[in-house]
Amino acid sequence: MAHSGINILFAGNNFGRLMAGLWNSIWIAAVSLVIGLIVGTIFGVLRTSNSKILRLILRLYLEFFRIVPTVVLLYLVYYILPELFHINWSASWMAVLAFAMWVAAEFSDIVRGALQSVPESQREAGLALGLSKVQLFRYVLIPQAFKLELPAMINLATRVIKTTSLLLIISVMEVINVGQQIIEANNQQYPTGVFWVYGFIFILYFVLDYPLSAWAKSITNKQK
């Protein structure tokens, strides 16, 4: 058969399967980001608090997620949590849990940095108007910090999307996993299929991540 390997992308429902895999990657990334960014904002605010103990705990939390490779983290969550706590979630939700904790850690540091670069005089002006601490964060500090943290936040989102490619190790049916199955099923017939499948997956990731990356860059340039 002298067919070009490109055919395997469209043979049977392969295209649909790849897209379903991509959708899995997207929703896991999106849900993890939403949860992680909210929790990360709270942690970031708490990291500016006066309590040394609280700051230390959150700092250790951050360092843990920075030091442990994501692969190890996924294994820990997937194999050890169910044993320890008798949690019986699907692999996808385990992935969301792991990613959300990771995003929360990374984002807490971004939020802390941004909050600390809002001028002290803004805090004092808010206090002088009688704002409570919560109101001060809600109306004055967090909105100003948000502008500063936006590029880093978008870059974090692109990293999360890319990292969903690791989810095949815990058997989530994401796009790489599906691609791998297609390649293996057609290896005899189309030895060049691997290039087409991974080439196509490359394009999918590029289409997802490039606009985000370009957006972050344009914001950074504008803020200069």
Partner 1 sequence: MSEEILKVENLNKYYGDWQVLHDINFDLKKGEVLTLLGPSGSGKSTLLRTLNGLEDYKDGAIYFHGKKIDPNPKTWQALRQKIGMVFQSYDLFPNLTVMENILLAPVKVQHRNEADVKKEAQELLARVEMQDYAKAYPRELSGGQKQRVAIVRALAMNPEIMLFDEITASLDPEMVRGVQEIVENLSQRDHMTMIIVTHQMNFAEKIADQVLFLENGKILENTPGKEFFEKPKTKRAQEFLESMDF
Chain contacts with partner 1 (rule: CB under 8 A): 119, 121-122, 124-132, 135, 139-140, 143-144, 147
Min separation Cβ 126 and partner 1, Å: 8
Q: Please give the Cα distance from 103 to 26 (Å, whole number).
A: 15
Min separation Cβ 223 and partner 1, Å: 13
Residue 203, Cα to own-chain centre: how many angstroms? 19
- In the numeric block, the tokens 């196509």 are attached to 200
Q: Please give the Cα distance from 33 to 156 (Å, whole number).
A: 9
Closer of 101 and 136 to partner 1 (Cβ): 136
Min separation Cβ 138 and partner 1, Å: 9
Min separation Cβ 113 and partner 1, Å: 18
Min separation Cβ 128 and partner 1, Å: 4
Closer of 66 and 133 to partner 1 (Cβ): 133
Residue 183, Cα to own-chain centre: how many angstroms? 27
Closer of 50 and 188 to partner 1 (Cβ): 50
Closer of 124 and 184 to partner 1 (Cβ): 124
* Tokens representing residue 7 in the block: 């055919």
Q: Would you call 48 helix, strand, or coil by DSSP?
A: coil
Closer of 56 and 129 to partner 1 (Cβ): 129
Residue 8, Cα to own-chain centre: how many angstroms? 30
Q: Would you call 190 helix, strand, or coil by DSSP?
A: coil
Write phi, then psi, for 211 (nearest 5 degrees).
-60, -40
Write the single-letter amino acid at 192. T
